[in-house]
Amino acid sequence: MSTPMRTDEHWANYNSRQAARPIRESCQRVLALAGPGAGRTAVDLGCGAGRETRAFLDAGWRVLALDGEPGTEARLLRTIGGRHAALTIKTSRFQDLYDLPPADLVHAGYSLPFQTRAEFDRVWTLIRSVLRPGGRVAVDLFGDRDSWAGDPNLTFLTEPEVRALFDGLTIERWEVEDEPGRAFSGPKHWHVFHVVAQRR
């Protein structure tokens, strides 16, 4: 199956239609496990419309929200309802991301697969390097049976490859979706690993 062109316009269009959906399950799970933020730092990578960014702020986290789509800041401010003292917004592509603050939580909802494998590996190393002891990662990663697999601009992983990413971390949520469904661009087969893990 061919994959849709993922231009800035595509993501702007996608994100403009996310305002009313429920908070992603990965975000809900990690919030339940981590408890109130109490001023701890969360990073929301590929934050999109900011639904989950908002949930982290509401739970007392300081948040760095990052996304490559140029309209991110304006969209996020609409979702949040204006500036928020605990929120930092950064517009950057993963390809240009070379540093992150020390973090107690890194959430990446359906975003990290949208880069090449080489970039994914570099960004994942960065994420692991900034995760504080006790900190958690909550991610949705595409598997090799996904109907978009084969697109060299995206990253698709086998189960052993996904497990290897979490070496040394304690896996607290491991759910695999492997079924037909719908994407923003139309019907497709989803093969997605939903994982929450904690650094001991």
Ligand X SMILES: C[S@@+](CC[C@H](N)C(=O)[O-])C[C@H]1O[C@@H](n2cnc3c(N)ncnc32)[C@H](O)[C@@H]1O
Residue 114, interface with ligand X (CB under 6 A)? yes
CA distances in angstroms from 30 to 14, 87, 138, 197, listed in the order given: 24, 19, 6, 9
Residue 69, interface with ligand X (CB under 6 A)? yes
Task: State which residue has the least CB distance to ligand X.
Answer: 48
Residue closer to ligand X by CB (options 1, 38) is 1
Q: Which of residues 148-177 bind ligand X (CB under 6 A)?
A: none
Reduce the DSSP state of residue 44 to 3 states and report it: strand
Residue 15, interface with ligand X (CB under 6 A)? yes
Please, which residues bridge with residue 43 across strands? 64, 106
Of 37, 59, 65, 94, the residue at the interface with ligand X (CB under 6 A) is 94
Part in contact with ligand X (CB under 6 A); list of ranges 40-48, 75-83, 156-164, 173-181:
40-48
C-alpha to C-alpha distance for 177 and 25, rounded to whole angstroms: 13
Dig out the tokens for 190 from the structure: 């989803």
Strands 103-108 and 41-45: parallel
Positions touching ligand X (CB under 6 A) are 11, 14-15, 18, 24, 46-48, 67-69, 93-95, 109-111, 114-115
